[in-house]
Structure 1
Amino acid sequence: MTSSPVRSRFLALALAGALAGCATPAPPPSAPAPAPAAAVPAPPPTRPAVQPVEVQPIAPATQMQPAGGSTSSTAGAETLTRVLAYADRVRGLQTSDAVAEIARLGDPGESAPLQMQLALALAQTRNPADLARATALMQRVAASTQADSQPLQALARVLAARYLEQRRVEDDRDRQVAQLKEAQRRIDHLNDRIEALRAIERSFGRPSGTARPSP
Structure 2
Amino acid sequence: MAVPFALLLTACSTQPKPPAEADALPPPVVLPRVMPVEAEPKAPATQPASLFTLMTQGPVAAMLSYADKVRPLNGADLSAEIARIGDPGDSPTTQMQLALLLSQTRTPADLARALGLLQRVNSNPAPEAQALQPLSRALAARYVEQRRVEDDRDKQVQQLRDAQRRIDQLNDRIEALRAIERSFARPNTLPATPPPNGSRSNQ
TM-score range, shorter chain: 0.5 to 0.7
Q: What are the equivalent positions in structure 2 for 1:21-170 lying under 5 Å apart?
A: 78-170=58-150
Report the residue type matching 2:172 in the other structure: D
Instruction: Look up the match of 1:10.
Output: none
Deviations 1:50-105 (Å, cap 9, x if unpaired)?
Answer: xxxxxxxxxxxxxxxxxxxxxxxx96962222111101111121122111110000
TM-superposed CA distance for 1:210, in Å, is 2.5
Hey, which bits of structure 1, 4+ residues long, moved more than 6 A? 74-77
TM-superposed CA distance for 1:192, in Å, is 0.4
Q: Distance in 2 between matches of 1:213 and 1:75?
A: 104
Q: What are the equivalent positions in structure 2 for 1:200-215 lying under 5 Å apart?
A: 200-212=180-192
Give 5+ residue unaligned stretches, structure 1: 1-73
Question: 2:174 aligns to what SS in structure 1?
Answer: helix
1:94–1:124 Cα contact (<8 Å) kept: no
TM-score by length of 1: 0.62
RMSD, aligned CA: 2.1
Kindly name which structure, 1 or 2, has the bigger radius of gyration based on alpha carbons: 1
Deviations 1:173-213 (Å, cap 9, x if unpaired)?
Answer: 11001101110110011000000000011111112353335
Instruction: Look up the match of 1:184.
Output: 164
Instruction: Look up the match of 1:41.
Output: none
Question: 1:100 aligns to what SS in structure 2?
Answer: helix
**Of the candidates 198, 206, 213, which is equivalent to residue 178 of structure 2?**
198
Task: Give the aligned length.
Answer: 142
Instruction: Look up the match of 2:152.
Output: 172
Change (3 A) 1:77 1:154: farther
Q: Distance in 1 between matches of 2:150 and 2:92?
A: 27
Worse-matched range after superposition: 185-194 or 127-136 = 127-136
1:87–1:120 Cα contact (<8 Å) kept: yes
Deviations 1:8-59 (Å, cap 9, x if unpaired)?
Answer: xxxxxxxxxxxxxxxxxxxxxxxxxxxxxxxxxxxxxxxxxxxxxxxxxxxx
1:112–1:149 Cα contact (<8 Å) kept: yes
Q: Distance in 1 between matches of 2:71 and 2:77?
A: 11
